[in-house]
Chain A
Amino acid sequence: MAKESLRGEYGKTLLRIGRDNKNIVVLDADLAKSTKTLTFGKEVAERFIDMGLSEQDMISTAAGISLTGKTVFASTFCVFLIGRVYDQVRQSVCYNNANVKLVGTHSGLGVGEDGATHQMLEDIALLRPLPNMRVIVPADATETARAVEYAAENDGPFFIRLTRGNLEKIYDSNYKFELGRASVIKPGRDITLFAIGAMVEKALEAAKVLAQESIDAAVINVSTVKPLDKDTIMDAARKTRAVITIEDHSVYGGLGSAIAEFLSQNHPTKMKIIGVEGVFGRSGSAADLYSHFKLTAHRVVDEARKLIS
């Protein structure tokens, strides 16, 4: 199946929704070619600002612009967009409930060869506790477009977390994104695989392997990590015997933590959290890194067998 670029789609979507909408302003911090905000910037120069290498200034400036009534997108790599400027995100953006959309590209191990300095594995953990912040992790290009449109149309802070590499197409053009709604890609009776971003395709692959062993796995894309779709998660936990979460993020504070927080207090369920185990990443191709850190379909299959045997 054809793979598509999420950040490429982000740039195209920005241009589509922002070309004629004078309310939309886009900021970047010297990574516009990589984040693809330049697709917008080349055509709509008057509402595109390259802030240069000034991430702190970019975030607070974005908040200031939004406080005059604009919808502001701000992008750079996740490691700089969130880690570098956490206090600015917390106080300039969230405390003001500013209409700022943080769209980070190059999240997690998916960055690949640039290594640990550029592989943000803690951004979801940092943002989930922040009041007013919504956290979305699209699983393909179509969902990226819908999420960006949604964020543009709805007031207040959003974080949209994109991966560097291309991902398989999961949704067709009829797909409707809803904030706080997980999408059940495949129902199942034995075990539930909750995944986000680049890990959704791994979960789907794992479900295929499990099917050959007569284990019927549900695959659910929890693209809105915050607010969490509690109904869908509860429903899946009730219908199956165990759940697995898979994310290109630390096992601390991400999707797995969010689901564990919810289920442990409402419907204790056998569970395995798959992610990066509190270590830094390293250089390598994204595929090699996913193998090295055991974020693979094979690993999911193993864990599923263990959980329901």
Chain B
Amino acid sequence: MNKTELNRLTGIAREIRILIIKMLAEAGSGHPGGSLSIADILSYLYFKEMRIDPQNPEMQDRDRFLLSKGHAAPALYAALALRGFFPVEDLFSLRKIHSHLQGHPHHIDTPGVEASTGSLGQGLSMAGGMVIGCKLSQSEANIFSIIGDGEAQEGQIWEAAMTAGFRGLANLCVFLDYNDLQIDGRVSKIKDIYPVKEKWQAFRWHVLEIDGHNLEEIETAVDSFKSEKEKPTMVIARTTKGKGVSFMEDGVDWHGVAPNREEAEKALKELSNG
């Protein structure tokens, strides 16, 4: 990735983070931590990788992104708005009555949202289903998804992992947002998902490990996914929950609490200078 490209995508990731803070402050509720931790991955996917058309959200053969950890909806909405699926102003209606931006993603309401998610553990199966559906239609579209590390405690994740591995759904690329936090504490303390790499390998996935905030490593991982023709790809992305806002970083208390005005201002100042 050249310097210009890196700066562009870094800028977009920062813009996504700024919008996350602004919209959550406006909404007064929602999930900042898990939204901030995926901003870099979304920047890369929506602004560099995926074949999509905001003017034609239902375009045939499009690549699709499915946010399995649906509580990070603000990050998805920010990426979609910046990419032109709907006006950026809409973001400030998040979670309000009559808004098309529901607390968790709703496929029917919001242009660009490929599937409704929020009940954790279901998105990976839906993403696998999309690969199966596209294949049956002779489409080579790629399906991307992000699951949480807490979400990986759901049994359905492992049913879906087995399906995708066994069926060789090579057009499926999943990021694990490995921030070692869930609501009640550290994932490694509550029900450790370690060893992660070996688990997914044992389920017959192509497994990569990256720093989930490093755009160049994200690019390398996606390139590796695209050259893998037999297995689905699991990108274990080491992330920091709340990334970019110092007082939120790696903090369990910022899972599902929106910043108040003061906190939002402080966060925005950091993000703008960062």
Contacts and interface: CB of A to CB of B under 8 A. Distances in A.
Interface of A: 22, 25, 46-47, 49, 51-52, 54, 56-57, 59-70, 87-88, 90-92, 95-97
B260 interface: no
B159 interface: yes
B267 interface: no
21 contacts: A25-B136, A51-B163, A56-B121, A56-B155, A56-B159, A57-B163, A60-B126, A61-B126, A62-B129, A63-B115, A63-B126, A63-B129, A64-B125, A65-B132, A68-B134, A70-B133, A90-B119, A91-B119, A92-B122, A95-B106, A95-B108
Interface residues of B, number: 31
B129 A60 contact: yes
A95 B116 CA distance: 7
A40 to B, nearest CB: 15
B63 to A, nearest CB: 12
Main secondary structure of the interface of A (DSSP, over half): helix
A67 B126 contact: yes
B129 A61 contact: yes
Contacts of A51: 163
A67 B136 contact: no
A86 B133 CA distance: 23
Contacts of A87: 119, 122
Contacts of A49: 132
Given A64-B127, A68-B137, A91-B116, A54 B162 contact: yes
B118 interface: yes
Contacts of A95: 106-108, 116
Contacts of B163: 51-52, 54, 57, 61
Contacts of A96: 107-108, 115-116
B108 A65 contact: no
B133 A60 contact: no
A70 B136 contact: yes
A-B pairs, 6 with minimum CB distance: A64-B129, A68-B133, A60-B125, A57-B159, A64-B126, A54-B159
Interface in B141-168: 155-156, 159-160, 162-163
A91 B106 CA distance: 10
Nearest to B126: A64
Interface string B2-38: 0000000000000000000000000000000000000
Contacts of B106: 95
Given A54-B162, A56-B159, A67 B130 contact: yes
Contact of A67 (B133, B137, B156, B162): B133
Contacts of A92: 115-116, 122, 125-126
Contacts of B107: 67, 95-96
B159 A65 contact: no
Nearest to A60: B125
A95 B70 CA distance: 14
A5 to B, nearest CB: 29
B211 to A, nearest CB: 29
A47 B162 CA distance: 19
A57 B160 contact: yes
Contacts of A25: 132-133, 136
A97 B162 CA distance: 26
B180 interface: no
B129 A97 contact: no
Contact of B156 (A56, A64, A68): A56
A65 B130 contact: yes
Interface-centre pick from A22, A46, A90, A91 (highest chain B CB count, 10 A)? A91
A25 B131 CA distance: 13
B114 interface: yes
Interface-centre pick from B126, B127, B162 (highest chain A CB count, 10 A)? B126
Interface-centre pick from A25, A67, A68 (highest chain B CB count, 10 A)? A68
Contact of B125 (A57, A68, A70, A90): A57
A36 B20 CA distance: 50
A91 B118 contact: yes
B128 interface: yes
B154 to A, nearest CB: 9
A63 B108 CA distance: 13
A61 B119 contact: no
A66 B106 CA distance: 16
Given A47-B136, A96-B115, A60 B122 contact: yes
Nearest to A132: B108
Given A70-B133, A70-B136, A91-B119, A64 B128 contact: yes
A64 B159 contact: no
B132 A57 contact: no
Contacts of B114: 67
A80 to B, nearest CB: 13
B214 to A, nearest CB: 30
B66 to A, nearest CB: 8
Contacts of A57: 125, 128, 156, 159-160, 162-163
A157 B163 CA distance: 23
Interface-centre pick from B123, B134, B159 (highest chain A CB count, 10 A)? B159
A54 to B, nearest CB: 4
B159 A69 contact: no
